[in-house]
Protein backbone atom coordinates (compact mmCIF):
# COMPACT_ATOMS: atom_id res chain seq x y z
CA UNK A 1 0.00 0.00 0.00
CA UNK A 2 2.80 2.40 0.90
CA UNK A 3 4.64 1.72 -2.36
CA UNK A 4 1.47 2.28 -4.39
CA UNK A 5 0.61 5.40 -2.41
CA UNK A 6 3.98 6.88 -3.47
CA UNK A 7 4.21 5.54 -7.03
CA UNK A 8 0.57 5.68 -8.17
CA UNK A 9 -0.27 8.46 -10.63
CA UNK A 10 -2.29 11.41 -9.37
CA UNK A 11 -2.35 13.39 -12.63
CA UNK A 12 -5.04 11.32 -14.39
CA UNK A 13 -7.75 9.38 -12.54
CA UNK A 14 -8.03 6.90 -15.42
CA UNK A 15 -4.33 6.02 -15.00
CA UNK A 16 -4.31 5.93 -11.20
CA UNK A 17 -5.18 2.32 -10.35
CA UNK A 18 -2.43 -0.04 -9.18
CA UNK A 19 -2.65 -2.08 -12.39
CA UNK A 20 -1.51 0.99 -14.37
CA UNK A 21 1.32 1.67 -11.91
CA UNK A 22 2.53 -1.90 -12.37
CA UNK A 23 1.96 -1.85 -16.14
CA UNK A 24 3.80 1.43 -16.73
CA UNK A 25 6.71 0.90 -14.32
CA UNK A 26 7.01 -2.86 -14.66
CA UNK A 27 6.41 -5.58 -12.09
CA UNK A 28 10.09 -5.77 -11.09
CA UNK A 29 10.32 -2.07 -10.24
CA UNK A 30 7.16 -2.26 -8.17
CA UNK A 31 8.35 -5.40 -6.39
CA UNK A 32 11.62 -3.60 -5.56
CA UNK A 33 9.66 -0.66 -4.14
CA UNK A 34 7.60 -3.03 -1.94
CA UNK A 35 10.78 -4.79 -0.74
CA UNK A 36 12.43 -1.45 0.04
CA UNK A 37 9.40 -0.36 2.04
CA UNK A 38 9.36 -3.68 3.88
CA UNK A 39 13.06 -3.37 4.75
CA UNK A 40 12.42 0.14 6.06
CA UNK A 41 9.49 -0.79 8.30
CA UNK A 42 10.38 -4.36 9.22
CA UNK A 43 12.30 -3.49 12.41
CA UNK A 44 9.20 -1.81 13.84
CA UNK A 45 6.82 -4.61 12.82
CA UNK A 46 6.46 -7.37 15.38
CA UNK A 47 3.87 -9.36 13.46
CA UNK A 48 0.11 -9.51 13.62
CA UNK A 49 -1.29 -9.17 17.15
CA UNK A 50 -1.92 -12.86 17.81
CA UNK A 51 -4.29 -12.21 20.72
CA UNK A 52 -6.43 -9.97 18.49
CA UNK A 53 -6.39 -12.54 15.67
CA UNK A 54 -7.39 -15.29 18.12
CA UNK A 55 -10.27 -13.11 19.36
CA UNK A 56 -11.47 -12.55 15.80
CA UNK A 57 -11.15 -16.24 14.94
CA UNK A 58 -13.20 -17.17 18.02
CA UNK A 59 -15.97 -14.85 16.77
CA UNK A 60 -16.09 -16.79 13.50
CA UNK A 61 -16.47 -20.18 15.21
CA UNK A 62 -18.79 -22.27 13.04
CA UNK A 63 -22.39 -22.80 14.23
CA UNK A 64 -23.40 -26.17 15.69
CA UNK A 65 -24.80 -28.22 12.81
CA UNK A 66 -26.18 -31.47 14.25
CA UNK A 67 -26.71 -34.52 12.07
CA UNK A 68 -30.32 -34.60 10.82
CA UNK A 69 -32.37 -37.27 9.12
CA UNK A 70 -32.61 -36.33 5.42
CA UNK A 71 -35.77 -38.34 4.70
CA UNK A 72 -37.82 -35.25 3.84
CA UNK A 73 -35.17 -34.24 1.31
CA UNK A 74 -35.23 -37.61 -0.47
CA UNK A 75 -39.03 -37.68 -0.47
CA UNK A 76 -39.25 -34.21 -2.03
CA UNK A 77 -36.54 -35.13 -4.55
CA UNK A 78 -38.59 -38.12 -5.69
CA UNK A 79 -41.94 -36.32 -5.80
CA UNK A 80 -41.36 -32.73 -6.93
CA UNK A 81 -39.70 -31.68 -10.21
CA UNK A 82 -39.51 -28.01 -9.17
CA UNK A 83 -37.70 -29.03 -6.01
CA UNK A 84 -35.31 -31.22 -7.99
CA UNK A 85 -34.50 -28.30 -10.30
CA UNK A 86 -33.88 -25.99 -7.35
CA UNK A 87 -31.78 -28.51 -5.42
CA UNK A 88 -29.72 -29.28 -8.53
CA UNK A 89 -29.15 -25.70 -9.63
CA UNK A 90 -29.03 -23.63 -6.43
CA UNK A 91 -27.60 -25.94 -3.75
CA UNK A 92 -23.97 -27.06 -3.39
CA UNK A 93 -22.18 -29.35 -0.95
CA UNK A 94 -21.45 -28.16 2.58
CA UNK A 95 -18.38 -29.24 4.53
CA UNK A 96 -20.73 -30.76 7.14
CA UNK A 97 -22.51 -33.93 5.91
CA UNK A 98 -26.28 -33.54 5.62
CA UNK A 99 -26.08 -29.80 4.99
CA UNK A 100 -26.08 -27.66 1.85
CA UNK A 101 -25.24 -24.10 0.80
CA UNK A 102 -28.28 -22.47 -0.81
CA UNK A 103 -28.04 -19.68 -3.38
CA UNK A 104 -31.20 -17.56 -3.36
CA UNK A 105 -31.36 -16.02 -6.81
CA UNK A 106 -32.05 -12.29 -7.09
CA UNK A 107 -32.30 -12.86 -10.86
CA UNK A 108 -35.92 -13.80 -11.43
CA UNK A 109 -36.41 -13.55 -15.22
CA UNK A 110 -37.08 -9.93 -16.11
CA UNK A 111 -36.13 -8.59 -12.66
CA UNK A 112 -33.28 -6.14 -11.99
CA UNK A 113 -30.20 -8.20 -11.06
CA UNK A 114 -29.36 -7.73 -7.37
CA UNK A 115 -32.53 -5.89 -6.37
CA UNK A 116 -34.51 -7.10 -3.36
CA UNK A 117 -37.66 -5.60 -1.90
CA UNK A 118 -37.99 -4.86 1.80
CA UNK A 119 -40.51 -7.72 2.07
CA UNK A 120 -38.05 -10.12 0.43
CA UNK A 121 -35.24 -8.98 2.75
CA UNK A 122 -37.45 -9.61 5.79
CA UNK A 123 -38.43 -13.03 4.44
CA UNK A 124 -34.76 -13.89 3.90
CA UNK A 125 -33.96 -12.79 7.47
CA UNK A 126 -36.75 -14.99 8.84
CA UNK A 127 -35.61 -17.96 6.73
CA UNK A 128 -32.00 -17.44 7.85
CA UNK A 129 -33.16 -17.59 11.47
CA UNK A 130 -35.26 -20.69 10.79
CA UNK A 131 -32.88 -22.63 8.54
CA UNK A 132 -29.35 -21.13 8.38
CA UNK A 133 -28.11 -20.40 11.91
CA UNK A 134 -29.23 -16.77 11.53
CA UNK A 135 -26.57 -16.07 8.92
CA UNK A 136 -26.73 -14.72 5.35
CA UNK A 137 -24.18 -13.86 2.72
CA UNK A 138 -24.22 -11.55 -0.27
CA UNK A 139 -22.31 -12.88 -3.27
CA UNK A 140 -20.41 -10.68 -5.71
CA UNK A 141 -22.71 -12.31 -8.25
CA UNK A 142 -25.52 -10.31 -6.61
CA UNK A 143 -27.38 -13.20 -5.01
CA UNK A 144 -28.13 -14.01 -1.37
CA UNK A 145 -26.63 -17.13 0.18
CA UNK A 146 -28.05 -19.16 3.06
CA UNK A 147 -24.80 -20.91 4.03
CA UNK A 148 -25.84 -23.56 6.57
CA UNK A 149 -29.06 -25.32 5.55
CA UNK A 150 -29.86 -28.88 6.67
CA UNK A 151 -30.96 -30.96 3.66
CA UNK A 152 -33.86 -32.07 5.88
CA UNK A 153 -35.11 -28.46 5.87
CA UNK A 154 -34.58 -27.87 2.16
CA UNK A 155 -38.13 -28.79 1.00
CA UNK A 156 -39.72 -26.38 3.51
CA UNK A 157 -37.18 -23.68 2.65
CA UNK A 158 -37.85 -24.11 -1.07
CA UNK A 159 -41.62 -23.78 -0.57
CA UNK A 160 -41.15 -20.59 1.47
CA UNK A 161 -38.75 -19.09 -1.09
CA UNK A 162 -41.04 -19.92 -4.01
CA UNK A 163 -44.00 -18.29 -2.23
CA UNK A 164 -41.93 -15.09 -1.81
CA UNK A 165 -40.87 -15.01 -5.46
CA UNK A 166 -37.35 -16.08 -4.49
CA UNK A 167 -37.36 -19.66 -5.75
CA UNK A 168 -35.87 -19.11 -9.22
CA UNK A 169 -33.71 -22.15 -10.01
CA UNK A 170 -31.13 -20.41 -12.19
CA UNK A 171 -27.88 -20.09 -10.20
CA UNK A 172 -25.01 -20.21 -12.70
CA UNK A 173 -27.30 -20.27 -15.76
CA UNK A 174 -27.59 -17.69 -18.52
CA UNK A 175 -30.15 -15.57 -16.63
CA UNK A 176 -27.87 -15.35 -13.55
CA UNK A 177 -26.23 -12.23 -14.96
CA UNK A 178 -24.02 -9.71 -13.17
CA UNK A 179 -25.00 -6.20 -14.26
CA UNK A 180 -23.97 -2.81 -12.95
CA UNK A 181 -26.72 -0.17 -12.39
CA UNK A 182 -25.76 1.48 -15.69
CA UNK A 183 -27.51 4.47 -17.21
CA UNK A 184 -30.69 3.83 -15.20
CA UNK A 185 -28.93 5.17 -12.09
CA UNK A 186 -25.23 5.85 -12.48
CA UNK A 187 -23.67 9.24 -13.24
CA UNK A 188 -20.64 7.59 -14.88
CA UNK A 189 -22.57 5.23 -17.18
CA UNK A 190 -22.33 5.46 -20.96
CA UNK A 191 -25.11 2.92 -21.65
CA UNK A 192 -27.88 0.95 -19.96
CA UNK A 193 -27.02 -2.42 -18.36
CA UNK A 194 -30.12 -3.54 -16.47
CA UNK A 195 -32.52 -3.71 -19.48
CA UNK A 196 -29.94 -5.74 -21.44
CA UNK A 197 -29.74 -8.26 -18.58
CA UNK A 198 -33.54 -8.37 -18.31
CA UNK A 199 -34.02 -8.95 -22.03
CA UNK A 200 -31.35 -11.64 -22.22
CA UNK A 201 -32.94 -13.48 -19.28
CA UNK A 202 -36.49 -13.37 -20.65
CA UNK A 203 -35.39 -14.08 -24.24
CA UNK A 204 -33.54 -17.32 -23.47
CA UNK A 205 -36.29 -18.45 -21.12
CA UNK A 206 -38.83 -17.91 -23.92
CA UNK A 207 -36.62 -19.89 -26.30
CA UNK A 208 -36.52 -22.70 -23.74
CA UNK A 209 -32.72 -22.86 -24.08
CA UNK A 210 -31.65 -21.96 -20.55
CA UNK A 211 -31.11 -25.53 -19.29
CA UNK A 212 -29.76 -26.63 -22.66
CA UNK A 213 -27.05 -23.93 -22.61
CA UNK A 214 -26.12 -24.78 -19.03
CA UNK A 215 -23.38 -23.13 -16.99
CA UNK A 216 -22.32 -19.75 -18.35
CA UNK A 217 -21.31 -16.38 -16.90
CA UNK A 218 -22.56 -13.28 -18.69
CA UNK A 219 -21.38 -10.00 -17.14
CA UNK A 220 -22.49 -6.53 -18.22
CA UNK A 221 -20.90 -3.13 -17.50
CA UNK A 222 -22.38 0.19 -18.58
CA UNK A 223 -19.01 1.96 -18.79
CA UNK A 224 -15.27 1.31 -18.78
CA UNK A 225 -15.13 1.37 -14.96
CA UNK A 226 -16.32 -2.24 -15.22
CA UNK A 227 -18.40 -2.60 -12.03
CA UNK A 228 -20.15 -5.44 -13.90
CA UNK A 229 -16.81 -7.34 -14.23
CA UNK A 230 -17.35 -7.75 -17.99
CA UNK A 231 -13.64 -8.46 -18.62
CA UNK A 232 -13.92 -11.75 -16.74
CA UNK A 233 -17.31 -12.86 -18.09
CA UNK A 234 -17.41 -15.92 -20.33
CA UNK A 235 -19.37 -13.46 -22.40
CA UNK A 236 -18.68 -9.85 -21.44
CA UNK A 237 -20.81 -6.94 -22.60
CA UNK A 238 -19.50 -3.38 -22.32
CA UNK A 239 -21.91 -0.55 -23.03
CA UNK A 240 -20.31 2.51 -24.61
CA UNK A 241 -21.48 5.81 -26.02
CA UNK A 242 -20.78 6.27 -29.74
CA UNK A 243 -21.77 9.81 -30.69
CA UNK A 244 -24.77 9.77 -28.38
CA UNK A 245 -25.88 6.23 -29.29
CA UNK A 246 -25.48 3.19 -27.05
CA UNK A 247 -23.07 0.65 -28.48
CA UNK A 248 -22.27 -2.70 -26.90
CA UNK A 249 -18.87 -4.32 -27.27
CA UNK A 250 -18.65 -8.09 -26.75
CA UNK A 251 -15.73 -9.98 -25.20
CA UNK A 252 -15.42 -13.77 -25.13
CA UNK A 253 -13.49 -16.21 -22.97
CA UNK A 254 -13.06 -14.20 -19.80
CA UNK A 255 -12.82 -16.17 -16.57
CA UNK A 256 -13.14 -14.96 -12.95
CA UNK A 257 -11.88 -18.15 -11.29
CA UNK A 258 -8.42 -19.50 -10.48
CA UNK A 259 -8.07 -19.90 -14.27
CA UNK A 260 -8.53 -16.14 -14.61
CA UNK A 261 -8.54 -14.70 -18.12
CA UNK A 262 -9.45 -11.39 -19.69
CA UNK A 263 -12.03 -11.76 -22.43
CA UNK A 264 -11.08 -11.15 -26.05
CA UNK A 265 -12.87 -8.38 -27.97
CA UNK A 266 -14.81 -9.83 -30.88
CA UNK A 267 -14.85 -6.77 -33.16
CA UNK A 268 -17.28 -3.92 -33.86
CA UNK A 269 -19.96 -3.37 -31.22
CA UNK A 270 -23.73 -3.71 -31.54
CA UNK A 271 -26.62 -1.31 -31.11
CA UNK A 272 -29.00 -1.73 -28.18
CA UNK A 273 -31.59 -3.60 -30.26
CA UNK A 274 -28.92 -5.82 -31.86
CA UNK A 275 -27.22 -7.07 -28.70
CA UNK A 276 -29.66 -9.83 -27.71
CA UNK A 277 -29.71 -11.39 -31.23
CA UNK A 278 -25.89 -11.13 -31.28
CA UNK A 279 -25.62 -13.10 -28.01
CA UNK A 280 -28.09 -15.63 -29.41
CA UNK A 281 -25.85 -16.18 -32.46
CA UNK A 282 -22.89 -16.87 -30.16
CA UNK A 283 -24.85 -19.36 -28.10
CA UNK A 284 -26.39 -21.15 -31.09
CA UNK A 285 -22.84 -21.52 -32.39
CA UNK A 286 -21.83 -22.99 -29.02
CA UNK A 287 -24.70 -25.50 -29.10
CA UNK A 288 -23.62 -26.57 -32.59
CA UNK A 289 -19.91 -26.74 -31.75
CA UNK A 290 -19.83 -28.46 -28.36
CA UNK A 291 -18.68 -32.06 -28.31
CA UNK A 292 -21.31 -33.11 -25.78
CA UNK A 293 -23.92 -31.44 -23.57
CA UNK A 294 -21.43 -31.76 -20.69
CA UNK A 295 -18.93 -29.48 -22.45
CA UNK A 296 -19.68 -26.01 -21.07
CA UNK A 297 -19.45 -22.79 -23.08
CA UNK A 298 -16.09 -21.81 -21.59
CA UNK A 299 -14.70 -25.30 -22.24
CA UNK A 300 -15.77 -25.13 -25.87
CA UNK A 301 -14.23 -21.67 -26.13
CA UNK A 302 -10.95 -22.88 -24.64
CA UNK A 303 -10.88 -25.78 -27.12
CA UNK A 304 -11.72 -23.78 -30.26
CA UNK A 305 -10.78 -20.18 -29.51
CA UNK A 306 -12.76 -17.13 -30.62
CA UNK A 307 -12.74 -17.69 -34.39
CA UNK A 308 -15.92 -19.80 -34.85
CA UNK A 309 -17.85 -17.52 -32.48
CA UNK A 310 -16.69 -14.41 -34.34
CA UNK A 311 -17.78 -16.02 -37.60
CA UNK A 312 -21.24 -16.64 -36.12
CA UNK A 313 -21.39 -13.07 -34.83
CA UNK A 314 -20.38 -11.26 -38.00
CA UNK A 315 -21.08 -13.67 -40.86
CA UNK A 316 -24.07 -12.42 -42.86
CA UNK A 317 -25.48 -15.90 -43.45
CA UNK A 318 -25.48 -16.74 -39.77
CA UNK A 319 -26.97 -13.35 -39.01
CA UNK A 320 -29.95 -14.02 -41.27
CA UNK A 321 -30.53 -17.41 -39.67
CA UNK A 322 -30.68 -16.14 -36.06
Instruction: Choose the binding region for other proteins from 82-90, 133-141, 239-247, 291-299 (rule: CB under 8 A).
Output: 133-141
Return the residues of window 270-299 that contact other proteins according to CB under 8 A.
none
Nearer to other proteins, 41 or 163 (CB): 41
Contact present, 137 and 73 (Cβ < 8 Å)? no
Nearer to other proteins, 29 or 75 (CB): 29
Q: What is the dihedral of CA 113, 114, 119, 122, to 10 degrees?
A: 150
Instruction: Choose the binding region for other proteins from 71-79, 113-121, 286-294, 299-307 (rule: CB under 8 A).
Output: 113-121
Tell me how many degrees the CA angle 66-67-72 measures, rounded to the nearest 5: 120
* Minimum distance, C-beta of residue 216 to other proteins, in the bound complex (Å): 16
Residue 72 CA to residue 36 CA, distance in Å, equals 61
Query: Bridge partners of 238?
Result: 221, 249
8 scored as a contact of other proteins (CB under 8 A): yes
Residue 239 CA to residue 302 CA, distance in Å, equals 25
239 scored as a contact of other proteins (CB under 8 A): no
106 scored as a contact of other proteins (CB under 8 A): yes
From candidates 29, 75, 206, 260, binder to other proteins by CB under 8 A: 260
Nearer to other proteins, 21 or 300 (CB): 21
Residue 297 CA to residue 56 CA, distance in Å, equals 41
Nearer to other proteins, 6 or 245 (CB): 6
124 scored as a contact of other proteins (CB under 8 A): yes
One symbol per residue from 134 to 153: x for binding other proteins (CB under 8 A), - otherwise; what is it? xxxxxxxxxxxx-xx-----
* Bridge pairing between strands 178-179 and 270-271: unpaired
Return the residues of window 35-94 that contact other proteins according to CB under 8 A.
48, 52-53, 56-57, 59-60, 62, 92-94
Query: What's the gap between Cα 215 and its chain centre?
Result: 11
Reading phi first (left if > 0) and then psi (alpha if -120 to 50, else beta), residue 195 is in: alpha
10 scored as a contact of other proteins (CB under 8 A): yes
258 scored as a contact of other proteins (CB under 8 A): yes
Contact present, 101 and 110 (Cβ < 8 Å)? no
From candidates 30, 114, 176, 282, binder to other proteins by CB under 8 A: 114
* Minimum distance, C-beta of residue 65 to other proteins, in the bound complex (Å): 9
Return the residues of window 179-208 that contact other proteins according to CB under 8 A.
180-181, 183, 185-187, 189
Nearer to other proteins, 203 or 229 (CB): 229
Residue 196 CA to residue 184 CA, distance in Å, equals 11
Go through 174-183 and write b for each residue having 16 or more CB atoms within 10 A of its CB, e for each that does not.
bbbbbbbbbb
Amino acid sequence: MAAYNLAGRRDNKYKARLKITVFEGGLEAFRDAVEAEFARTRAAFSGVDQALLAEIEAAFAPPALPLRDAGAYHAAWAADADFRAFATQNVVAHKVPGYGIVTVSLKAHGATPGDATAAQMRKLADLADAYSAGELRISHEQNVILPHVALADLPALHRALAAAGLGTANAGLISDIIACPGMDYCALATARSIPVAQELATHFKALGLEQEIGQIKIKISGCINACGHHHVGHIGILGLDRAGVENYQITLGGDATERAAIGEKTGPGFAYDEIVPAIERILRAYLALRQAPEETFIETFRRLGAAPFKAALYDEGARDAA
